[in-house]
Amino acid sequence: MASKKVVIPIFMVLAIMSCHKDLSTKAAEDPSTDTIAVNPCSILIDGVYQYPEPDAGTIDFFEYDNLPEEICNCITTEGLVETCLNYPDWFFITFEGNGFQKGYEVLRNNFRGFKELEKRPDAANVLITKYKSTDPYGYDSTWSVNQIGSLDLKLYYMTMLLGQDSLIAKETKEEKTEIISEFLFRYNDLLVREQDSVFPLYLRGAFFTTARMMYLDNYQPFIAEYYDNVDLQNAIKYSGTIDNAVQKQWIISLTNDYLSTLISK
């Protein structure tokens, strides 16, 4: 299958590249060796893992930024979600030519945090709670383009994680209903603000996630179109976003119908 190019606004690229520096902070100084041996998570700050400072001399940056295995065994899901969202190597999803979803799969194979999060039964609940509490318009005129882009990216990362098969398979009907309702609320809010011409990355990711939900739920109105539409198949399997304008409107309309079906069950 031919590679699918992903076009990213320049401010997105700058924001992604800046995350490595902005989100890497020092861990607590001089922790007790004995305490760490008993409780590895004693080094966490507010329950969140602190990545090491960037090191230009690092050869294997994936291992350098990896979440220690012992931390996986004691970190809460809330702390794990924040740790995953702060992962400094997210920008590598843009390096996989077939799309963000394939890029994420490369990262998941190299980062214990994503693997651990996808195992957690409460991951979807914690992620949607975090998503709902993050205002996409929660910035002011003093913010730089990079800062605004970073907010959009963080919301997108949440939708990307919610769109993984392993999480969708564990989501209850109530969780799916809450997730989809929030995505549609955000989209309708965008229309009220008359900004539909600027379709943000986090909403392109949101409807990628609802499309994957419909596919994995074998929702027949979606399935009927899916197997005859190669572009739709590629978007669901590889892209990580819904970019095609016609696809976008069709998926949004179908998402409303799918939500009604979930509610009526």
**pLDDT for 3:** 44
Domain assignment present for 43: yes
Domain assignment present for 4: no
Once rounded to an integer, what is the mean pLDDT over residues 175-182? 97
This prediction's pTM: 0.84
Domain assignment present for 216: yes
Are the C-beta atoms of residues 111 and 66 closer than 8 Å to each other?
Answer: yes
**pLDDT for 140:** 84
- Domain total of the chain: 1
Q: If 0-12 CB within 10 Å is exposed, 13-18 middle and 19+ buried, where does residue 83 land?
A: buried
Domain assignment present for 41: yes
Domain assignment present for 132: yes
**pLDDT for 203:** 93
Helix H, strand E, coil C: the string for 154-222 is HHHHHHHHHCCHHHHHHCCHHHHHHHHHHHHHHHHHHHHCCCCCCCCHHHHHHHHHHHHHHHHCCCHHH
Domain assignment present for 60: yes
Structure tokens at 263: 């509610």
Domain assignment present for 83: yes
Give the best-scoring range by mean pLDDT among 7-21, 45-59, 188-202, 246-260. Answer: 246-260
Domain assignment present for 110: yes
Q: pLDDT tens digit string along 208-256?
A: 999 999 999 999 999 999 999 999 999 999 989 888 888 999 999 999 9
**pLDDT for 88:** 94
Q: pLDDT tens digit string along 183-207?
A: 999 999 998 887 666 788 999 999 9
Q: pLDDT tens digit string along 30-47?
A: 444 445 557 899 999 999
Range of the domain at 94: 10-264
